[in-house]
């Protein structure tokens, strides 16, 4: 029923380093459908970030094939098919929040009026109305990360690639942002690929959880979440939630037993 | 203070006392300087006093030559006040320099050849022109270094080599070469000025233009931004704090360059010309007041850049 947004087949990626080749991804097969919320979880060095960077055409695979929206990642980037959210907010300190959000719009050549309208829209989406005129240092870490999500949403890409966006935030803020992210996903219907190393975060957010293991990075399990789309925070105490979390943990342990 | 100078063994030659007096000055505060004048100037004062009929111990400049200055001061304490009021002291007292500064700035018309304001302006105009050229050149080179691998490998070593050549050796050659092709006046001085000031700007701007981290560069790649967009929207604004630091060093170097550029030409105007004329005619008060004028001018220029820096960074929301 859904057309695949991402399709990776037998994907390999080897980095040439001074200590010889390092295989970052090995034989990765994955399909992401439109509207999916996919989490990538695994220990560091398992290639989850690398896979996301391949989708963004920031790295190029050395074997196999990958398509984004049916075309190569490079082409998808040229068509501005995705917004990327990094671990750090990476806002420009010399631009206000509104002008930070305008950055991609200026680069992509939107008209001034269109820019204003879009900034207003996305500020509302991430619950930052009234903060457009503030500079980044005037905002808390969580608000800065929300602003960076707004920046990624501003040009209306269908896909949101998020690389541990809440990794540097404390747990209370993180819970709050997770809840907001789900609401945003429900409202916009975007496809989201989300890298994390927190099991509860992955289970709480995702419709599909990809468990990866390191050296070489590969997929050890793909779990389709049985949880409903509506997820209040206390769903994390239900038996269904704990069961999925258990399966993720098992998958991670199996990956570790390998080395 | 005077007693401390006496700890130095009486080598005899007057120059050794200069070294002794220097160490007293080195303590820094003004009263030290005042006392340093006493042994520094005592021999000249005694010679004059003797000529005027005063009784000096021992008699005869020739006999006094090999005696330690401190000894002479103790034996002829009547002459101490006169060491602070000579026309051409070896070391002028601070108030003499202050009075000279006052008289040659505030009390003289600025069009007068004897006005330090006039001379400072001559030097300042060359400084500013050289600074503008040097800054422009420095920024252009830095942009090239950051964007072109060839320039990255080739420019820096030459820029460093250029700064190891003593400017005092190079300045006369620049002036002679430019004169032979008919260029004189402010331009040769500005060229020397630019030669000194481009270097800190290159170093600072290369660092500044490279200051954005991988993540910020990756972010621009995800937007499919062009190199030019990356430069104007990310690299240039990110380099601003580095630029201002470099400019402050650069403008001080520019001033030194302009002054050095005035020395070998026998220039008739400018702070460098004042220094040179002062040393020709033994006018130490004039030399010292020109030195202070240069120092004050440099402080003003750096201070002005500091004000512009704060205003700019505040407008950018970074301060």
List of chain B residues whose C-beta atoms are within 8 Å of the C-beta of residue A82? 222
Question: Which DSSP category does A38 fall into?
Answer: E
Segment B81-86 mean pLDDT = 86
**Does position B303 have pLDDT exceeding 90, yes or no?**
yes
Q: Which residues contact B215 (CB under 8 A, 6 or more apart)?
A: A86, A87, A88, A90
Return the sign of the alpha-carbon dihedral for residues B22, B23, B29, B34: negative
Q: Does B215 touch chain A (CB under 8 A)?
A: yes
Residue B17's pLDDT band (boundaries 50, 70, 90)?
very low
B:219-258 residues touching chain A, CB 8 A cutoff: 219-225, 229, 233-234, 237-238, 240
What pLDDT is stored for residue A73 in this prediction?
Answer: 85
Q: How far is A9 from chain B (nearest CA, A)?
A: 23
Which tokens sit at B212? 């954005």
Q: Per residue, what are the HEC states of chain B?
A: CHHHHCCCCCCCCHHHHHHHHHHHHCCCCHHHHHHHHHHHHHHHHHHHHHHCCCCCCCCCHHHHCCCCHHHHHHHCHHHCHHHHCCCCCCCCCHHHHHHHHHHHHCCCCCCCCCCHHHHHHHHHHHHHHHHHHHHHHHHHHHHHHHHCHHHHHHHHHHHHHHHHCCHHHHHHHHHHHHHHCCCCCHHHHHHHHHHHHHHHHHHHHHHHHCCCCHHHHHHHHHCCCCHHHHHHHHHHHHHHHHHHHHHHHHHHHHHHHHHHHHCCCCCCCCHHHHHHHHHHCCCHHHHHHHHHHHHHHHHHHHHHHHHHHHHHHHHCCCC
Closest alpha carbon to A220 in A162, A259, A185, A170: A259
Question: Who among A84, A92, A95 is closest to B222 (CB)?
Answer: A84
- Residue B22: the pLDDT is 39
pLDDT above 60 (res A210): yes
Mean per-residue pLDDT, B120-127: 93
pLDDT band of A8, cuts 50, 70, 90: confident
How far apart CA B89 and CA B60 sit, in angstroms, is 20
Judged by average pLDDT, the poorest of A183-187, B13-17, B256-260, B292-296 is B13-17
Looking only at the bridges linking them, the beta strands covering A37-41 and A208-213 are: parallel
What is the arithmetic mean of pLDDT over A70-75? 84
Give the residue, B4 or B160, on which the prediction is more confident: B160
Alpha helices in chain A (DSSP H): 48-55, 73-78, 97-108, 112-125, 141-153, 171-188, 199-205, 239-257
Confidence of residue A231 (pLDDT cuts 50, 70, 90): confident
Whether B19 has its CB under 8 Å from any CB of chain A: the answer is no
- pLDDT 10s digits, B161-201: 999 999 888 888 998 899 899 888 889 999 999 999 999 99
> Structure tokens of B315?
């407008």
Contacts of A92 in chain B (CB under 8 A): 216, 234, 237-238
| Backbone angles phi and psi of A30, in degrees to 5 | -155, 140
The three-point CA angle A78-A79-A85 to 5° equals: 80
Q: Are A248 and A211 in contact (CB under 8 A)?
A: yes
Among A32-41, B103-112, B126-135, the range of highest mean pLDDT: B126-135
Answer yes or no: do A104 and B234 touch at CB < 8 A.
no
With a threshold of 0.90, tell me whether the complex ipTM lies above it: no
- The average pLDDT across A93-121 equals 90
pLDDT of the residue at B11: 36
**Which of B159, B127, B164 lies closest to B140 in space, CA to CA?**
B159
Mutation target to probe the B interface, by most B beta carbons within 10 A, among A84, A96, A139, A162 is A84
What is the residue-averaged pLDDT of chain A?
A: 85
Structure tokens at B294: 């240069």
Residue A257 has what pLDDT? 52
Cα–Cα–Cα angle for B21, B25, B30, rounded to 5 degrees = 135
Average pLDDT for B228-243: 92
CB A101, CB A154: distance < 8 Å: yes
In this prediction, residue A256 has a pLDDT band, given cuts at 50, 70 and 90, of low
State phi, psi for B265 to the nearest 5 degrees.
Answer: -90, -10
Residue B2 pLDDT more than 60?
Answer: no
Distance CA(A224)–CA(B244), nearest Å, equals: 55
| pLDDT tens-digit readout, B266-293 | 678 889 999 988 888 888 999 999 999 9
Give B33-51 pLDDT, tens digit per residue.
778 888 888 888 888 888 8
Query: Distance from first CA to last CA of chain B, Å, rounded?
Result: 47
Segment A149-178 mean pLDDT: 85
The listed range with the strongest mean pLDDT (A150-164, B86-100, B123-137) is: B123-137
Q: Do A94 and B219 touch (CB under 8 A)?
A: no
pLDDT the model gives residue B4: 39
Name which residue leads in pLDDT, A38 or A229. Answer: A38
Q: Is the pLDDT of residue B58 over 90?
A: no
- pLDDT category at B15 given cuts 50, 70, 90 is very low
Closest CB to B219: pick one of A78, A86, A106. A86
Contact B316 A94 (CB under 8 A): yes
Q: What is the pLDDT of residues A138-159, one digit of tens each?
A: 998 888 988 998 898 888 888 8
**What is the pLDDT, as a whole number, of residue A2?**
55
Residues of B within 8 A of A106 (CB-CB) are 233
Burial of B140 per CB tally in 10 Å (0-12, 13-18, 19+): middle
CB B187 within 8 A of CB B178: yes
What is the average pLDDT score of chain B?
85
Give the number of other Cβ atoms within 10 Å of residue B72's Cβ: 22
User: Two tokens at B147?
Assistant: 């964007």
- The answer, yes or no, to whether residue B70 has pLDDT greater than 60, is yes
pLDDT at B21: 39
**Chain B residues inside the 8 Å CB shell of A87:** 215
% of chain B residues with pLDDT over 70: 90
């Amino acid at each position: 029923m859904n057309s695949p947004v991402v399709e990776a087949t037998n994907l390999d990626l080897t980095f040439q380093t001074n200590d010889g080749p390092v295989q970052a991804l090995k034989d990765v097969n994955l399909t992401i459908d439109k509207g999916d919320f996919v989490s990538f979880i695994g220990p560091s060095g398992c290639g989850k970030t690398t896979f996301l960077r391949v989708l963004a055409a920031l790295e190029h695979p050395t074997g196999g094939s990958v398509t984004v929206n049916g075309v190569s990642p490079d082409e998808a980037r040229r068509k501005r098919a995705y917004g990327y959210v990094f671990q750090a907010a990476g806002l420009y300190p010399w631009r206000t929040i509104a002008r930070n959000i305008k950055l991609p719009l200026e680069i992509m050549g939107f008209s001034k009026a269109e820019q204003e309208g879009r900034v207003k829209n996305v500020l509302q989406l991430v619950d930052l109305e009234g903060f457009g005129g503030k500079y980044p240092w005037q905002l808390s870490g969580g608000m800065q990360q929300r602003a960076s999500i707004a920046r990624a949403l501003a040009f209306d890409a269908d896909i949101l690639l998020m690389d541990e966006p809440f990794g540097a935030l404390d747990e209370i803020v993180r819970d709050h942002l997770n809840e907001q992210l789900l609401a945003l996903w429900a409202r916009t219907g975007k496809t989201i690929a989300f890298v994390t190393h927190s099991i509860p975060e992955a289970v709480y957010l995702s419709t599909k959880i990809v468990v990866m293991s390191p050296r070489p990075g590969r997929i050890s399990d793909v779990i389709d979440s049985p949880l409903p789309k509506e997820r209040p925070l206390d769903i994390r105490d239900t038996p269904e939630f704990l069961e999925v979390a258990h399966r993720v943990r098992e998958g991670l342990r199996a990956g570790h037993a390998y080395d | 203070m005077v007693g401390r100078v006496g700890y130095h063994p009486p080598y005899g030659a007057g120059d050794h006392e200069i070294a002794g007096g220097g160490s007293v000055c080195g303590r820094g505060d003004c009263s030290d300087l005042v006392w340093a004048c006493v042994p520094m100037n005592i021999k000249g004062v005694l010679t004059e006093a003797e000529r005027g009929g005063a009784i000096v111990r021992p008699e005869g400049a020739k006999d006094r030559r090999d005696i330690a200055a401190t000894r002479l001061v103790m034996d002829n304490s009547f002459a101490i006040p006169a060491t602070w009021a000579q026309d051409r002291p070896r070391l002028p007292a601070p108030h003499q320099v202050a009075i000279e500064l006052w008289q040659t700035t505030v009390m003289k018309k600025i069009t007068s050849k004897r006005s330090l304001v006039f001379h400072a302006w001559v030097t300042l105009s060359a400084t500013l022109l050289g600074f503008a050229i040097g800054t422009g050149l420095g920024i252009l080179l830095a942009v090239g270094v950051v964007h072109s691998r060839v320039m990255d490998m080739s420019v820096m070593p030459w820029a460093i080599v250029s700064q190891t050549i003593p400017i005092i050796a190079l300045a006369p050659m620049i002036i002679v070469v430019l004169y032979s092709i008919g260029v004189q006046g402010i331009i040769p001085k500005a060229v020397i000025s630019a030669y000194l000031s481009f270097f800190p700007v290159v170093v600072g701007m290369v660092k500044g233009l490279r200051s954005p981290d991988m993540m910020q560069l990756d972010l621009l790649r995800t937007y499919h931004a062009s190199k030019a967009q990356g430069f104007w929207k990310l690299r240039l604004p990110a380099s601003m704090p580095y630029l201002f630091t470099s400019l402050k060093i650069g403008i001080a170097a520019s001033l030194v360059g302009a002054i050095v550029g005035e020395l070998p030409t026998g220039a008739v105007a400018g702070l460098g010309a004042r220094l040179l004329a002062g040393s020709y005619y033994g006018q130490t008060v004039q030399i010292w007041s020109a030195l202070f004028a240069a120092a004050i001018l440099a402080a003003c220029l750096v201070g002005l850049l500091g004000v512009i820096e704060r205003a700019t960074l505040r407008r950018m929301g970074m301060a």
